[in-house]
């Protein structure tokens, strides 16, 4: 291609919690999906990690926004500014005389509506995308895990992200059956906040609840090697005096129980829709877990014991969708026909 140096090819996992961008097979952006905006000028002040550090600490002139909710765009203008800001961060690291044309492959939830799909596409186009392709997250996760999605074999992937949990059966380069549930990492964080409020009368913010989830998050109470209890400090709701408590993984397993049970029900629902031949493949091969939620201790064991099917946690599950999106972009660049990409 004569002017290929003027084209920049980006693979974007536009997640509720994080945005991961690949350029030339390398992760160039891995930042929280958040933007800080000046209320007077309506212009962005910070994007990603810088904006996350401001979250919950702003004055009335600054507002932090998470543009993605339940895996889809909740605030179109903020999402566009966030994507544009992150692309600018890449180009600041790689200075060029020309503004490159962008070819973008972007991952979205399989349960997104046509309107939500269009919002993602338009946000990418307004951020400079000349060619924009969409891939569904379970398909991207399967490719990122390393499964051969084009062979006539059934693969089942459960991707537990920040806003949605996606469950899909994949065969011959397409999604045979799938379900999307708006119970995932954000709901787990909210469950922890609610539990601490009800059990200990202590008020914690989103960022601290997220830290608790990472430090002592568990799906079963009888872990073989439980993590050290996490020390939580915060104000008492009734008195506003500071309180200090110690939280164990056993307590977190108890408070996440109902949300994880909803994910179990969704997986059973997808298995009920699965054709018998593909079901046999899944039982033989097992079910693959990806996304940040897959890192919750004991989740694979809980699901395996409940459904009597082995569950495997992907290597680096947080970036499985981004890796798969990048692989799809590479094949697209070689002019392969990819049935799972949408224009």
**Are 196 and 234 in a shared domain?**
yes
**Are 52 and 121 in a shared domain?**
yes
Backbone dihedral angles phi then psi of residue 230, each to the nearest 5 degrees: -105, 130
Per the CB < 8 A criterion, the answer to whether 316 and 339 are in contact is no
Beta strands in 24-163 (DSSP E): 26-32, 35-38, 44-47, 62-65, 68-69, 72-73, 101-108, 129-136, 155-160
Per the CB < 8 A criterion, the answer to whether 66 and 54 are in contact is no
Cα 17 to its chain centre, rounded Å, is 6
Per the CB < 8 A criterion, the answer to whether 255 and 191 are in contact is yes
Residue 302 — pLDDT band, cuts 50, 70, 90?
very high
**Are 268 and 237 in a shared domain?**
no
Residue 3 predicted with pLDDT over 50: no
Q: What is the pLDDT of residues 161-195, one digit of tens each?
A: 998 999 999 999 899 999 999 999 999 999 999 99
For the domain that residue 161 is a member of, what is the CATH number? 3.30.420.40
Q: What angle do CA 180, 139, 128 make, to 5 degrees?
A: 95
Cα–Cα distances (Å) from 257 to 32, 277, 290, 302, 340, in that order, read 26, 32, 19, 11, 34
**Are 268 and 164 in a shared domain?**
yes
Residue 190's pLDDT is: 96
Q: Which two tokens stand for residue 35?
A: 């933007």
**Are 115 and 195 in a shared domain?**
no
**Are 202 and 228 in a shared domain?**
yes
Residue 48's pLDDT is: 92
Taking Cα atoms as reference points, which of 329, 332, 292, 331 lies closest to residue 22?
Answer: 329
Residue 337's pLDDT is: 67
Residue 111 predicted with pLDDT over 90: no
Taking Cα atoms as reference points, which of 261, 205, 210, 258 lies closest to residue 233?
Answer: 205
Residue 257 — pLDDT band, cuts 50, 70, 90?
very high
The DSSP annotation for 141-153 comes to: HHHHHT--TTSSS
Residue 312 forms beta bridges with which residues?
Answer: 288
**Are 201 and 338 in a shared domain?**
no
Residue 332's pLDDT is: 84
Residue 73 forms beta bridges with which residues?
Answer: 68
What span, in angstroms and rounded, lies between the C-alpha atoms of 42 and 310?
50
What span, in angstroms and rounded, lies between the C-alpha atoms of 174 and 340?
6
Residue 106 forms beta bridges with which residues?
Answer: 12, 134
Question: Averaged over 139-168, what is the pLDDT?
Answer: 93
**Are 25 and 86 in a shared domain?**
yes
Residue 338's pLDDT is: 74
Per the CB < 8 A criterion, the answer to whether 296 and 318 are in contact is no
What span, in angstroms and rounded, lies between the C-alpha atoms of 295 and 318?
8
Mean pLDDT value across the chain? 90
Residue 286 predicted with pLDDT over 50: yes
**Are 124 and 38 in a shared domain?**
yes
For the domain that residue 231 is a member of, what is the CATH number? 3.90.640.10
**Are 103 and 14 in a shared domain?**
yes
**Among the residues of 183-226, which ranges form H helices?**
185-200, 206-216
**Are 290 and 166 in a shared domain?**
yes
Residue 303 predicted with pLDDT over 80: yes
What span, in angstroms and rounded, lies between the C-alpha atoms of 175 and 152?
12
Q: What is the pLDDT of residues 20-37, one digit of tens each?
A: 999 988 999 999 999 999
Reported pTM: 0.89
Residue 5's pLDDT is: 53
**Domain encompassing residue 24:** 4-141+320-342
**Are 230 and 266 in a shared domain?**
no
Question: Averaged over 263-267, what is the pLDDT?
Answer: 97
Residue 196's pLDDT is: 96
Report the number of distinct structural domains present in the chain: 3
Using the 3D structure, point to which of 214, 238, 255 is the last residue of a domain: 255
Residue 1's pLDDT is: 40
Residue 2 — pLDDT band, cuts 50, 70, 90?
very low
Q: What share of the chain is helix, strand, coil (3-state, %, to 5)?
A: 40, 30, 30
Per the CB < 8 A criterion, the answer to whether 193 and 212 are in contact is no
């Amino acid at each position: 291609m004569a002017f290929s140096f003027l084209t920049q090819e980006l693979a974007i996992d536009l997640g509720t919690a994080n945005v991961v961008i690949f350029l030339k097979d390398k992760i160039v952006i891995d930042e929280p999906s958040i933007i800080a905006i000046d209320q007077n000028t309506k212009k962005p002040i910070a994007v990603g990690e810088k904006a996350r550090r401001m979250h919950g600490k702003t004055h009335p002139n600054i507002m932090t926004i998470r543009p993605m909710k339940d895996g889809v765009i909740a605030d179109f203008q903020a999402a566009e500014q966030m994507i544009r800001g992150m692309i600018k961060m890449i180009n600041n690291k790689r200075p060029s005389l020309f503004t490159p044309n962008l070819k973008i492959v972007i991952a979205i939830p399989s349960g997104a509506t046509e309107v939500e799909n269009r919002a993602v596409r338009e946000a990418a186009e307004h951020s400079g995308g000349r060619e924009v392709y969409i891939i569904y997250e379970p398909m991207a996760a399967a490719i990122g895990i390393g499964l051969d999605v084009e062979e006539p074999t059934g693969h089942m992937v459960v991707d537990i992200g920040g806003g949605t949990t996606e469950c899909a059966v994949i065969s011959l380069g397409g999604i045979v059956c799938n379900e999307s549930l708006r119970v995932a990492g954000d709901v787990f964080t909210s469950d922890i906040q609610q539990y601490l409020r009800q059990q200990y009368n202590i008020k914690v913010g989103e960022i601290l609840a997220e830290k608790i989830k990472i430090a002592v998050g568990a799906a079963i109470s009888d872990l073989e090697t439980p993590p050290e209890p996490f020390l939580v400090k915060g104000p008492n709701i009734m008195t506003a005096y500071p309180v200090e408590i110690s939280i164990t993984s056993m307590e977190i397993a108890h408070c996440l129980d109902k949300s994880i049970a909803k994910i179990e029900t969704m997986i059973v629902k997808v298995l009920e829709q699965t054709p018998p031949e593909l079901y046999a493949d899944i039982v033989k091969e097992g079910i693959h877990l990806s996304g940040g939620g897959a890192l919750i201790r004991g989740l694979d064991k809980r699901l395996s014991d409940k459904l009597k099917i082995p569950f495997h946690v992907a290597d680096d599950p947080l970036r499985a969708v981004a890796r798969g999106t990048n692989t799809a972009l590479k094949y697209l660049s070689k002019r392969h026909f990819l049935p799972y990409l949408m224009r």
